Structure formats: structure tokens, C-alpha cells
Structure 1
């Protein structure tokens, strides 16, 4: 007589995952998202800030070209309505302006990039960016100077 092993009758393996395994995966994804999302937002703000700084340098080059061609700075043709034709910065994030003075030194003009009030860039730690004729860049947020932005 042949005996069957009663323990091995149901050898079929179950496929799929249990609810606990699924909940563990969802919890891990939630923790990772909570850690990485603020860092991602900071990188986006920093990227737009870098773009604005590059555009400020382009504006400065155009100002100096204007000075060498016609003997005077001509900011009105370079920056109008808060933006410039050759700027790559998202116009929804920054407003550019150039303030000229009668000085002939490093303070002959100041280029500013101000974050727009209703844009996400208003949360940037550097706030308003300034660049003078001597290529000295500064940043201030709510009237307080911020280091490490330039």
C-alpha cells in the first residue's frame, strides 16, 4: 500500500503581496517623500535664482556695451517693463530694474532682480538680488543682508 504524505497536499504557492507588505511600502514612500520634497523645492528656487543672476550679468554686459558705443548707459532700452528681451529668467518669478546714478565709479548703476509677490520665488532665502557697476553682488531679504547667495 502506498501512503500519501498529508502535509504536502497543498503545495501551490500564493502569488502577490499581503496588505501589511503593501502598507510598509506606502509608509517608506511617504517617509522618503517627506524628506526629499523640501530639498527638491530648495533646488528649484536656487535654479531660478541662478538664472536671474546670469541674466543680471547679461544686463551688465549690455550696459557696458551701451556705454562704449554711445558714451552713456542706456538702461531704458535694455530693461523695460521689468524684463529684457534676451533674459532667460521666468518673467513670473523675477522683475528686473536698473537704477542709474551720476556717479562714475562702481555705483554708476545698480541692477536689481526682485522676486514677484505671487510667485514661489518669494520663498527664496536670498530675496532681492543686486549687482552694481563694479560687479559686486548682494542679496537681502526683508531689508536684512543675506550671505552666501552670490
Structure 2
């Protein structure tokens, strides 16, 4: 469950960037009453806040912001995403055998703990899933191997 402070902080951070949306992004939510169609209560509050500030709301913009913030502990998010699909474009291994992964979107993840990850040549598709106690697991989509990771950038 999200705290009120967390929702308000997200609302402020999202609505600051929403004012520059194109007309295509604004089609679904043209009025304050359109927010009533949103099932997710946290998203509905963000929608109301956007209109109260004189900006517009777009679920697409919220999805983009959630993807950008996935795995970052310093940015407030709606915490509705459990898994993201990424394209790993570069993998480097350090002297201790730990890997660092760069995604197509610019995220950087580093391996936590020992473990082997079987993957093909880069680029390759992978999923990153939330685990217990703010942990994350990276797994290539073409096999079942996975490693614990944490977001660096």
C-alpha cells in the first residue's frame, strides 16, 4: 500500500513533466471526469492532481516514468510494476567474475552475489523482476538462469 506522501511526491514529479505531452498522449484523458475510469487508485490520484494543476494526464507517460524509475531506491514510484522487459546491449565482467549489464534504455544493473548467468551474445532480451526485501533478479528470456542484481544508474 502506498503512503499518501509517496503518492503526492510522485504526483509532483510526474505532473512537472506531463505538460509537454503531444496531442496523441492526451486523447484518453481530456477532462477531470475521465480520471474516474482509472481502476488503480494511485494512478487515479495522479490523474486528478494533473488536472488540478492545469496540466494533462497520460497513462503512457506514467508507464514511461515507472520504467525509468524501476529499481531506483531514491525516486518515488507507484510501485505497481513487478517485472520489466529490457534489452541488454552490453555485459562486462570484472576481475571477481561479477557482471554489469547495460540496457538499451540506459539503465545499468550490477550483479549481487555469486551465480552464473547463461546468456547468448548481446544484445539479448531479459526480464528484471522484483524479489523479496527490495531485491531484483535478472533473467534472459530464452533460458531459466537468473542472478540477483541492483540498479546502479
Q: TM-score of the superposition, structure 1-length normalised? A: 0.27
| Larger helix share, 1 or 2 | 1
Q: Higher relative contact order at CA 8 Å, sep ≥6: structure 1 or structure 2?
A: 2
Higher Rg: 1
| Larger strand share, 1 or 2 | 2
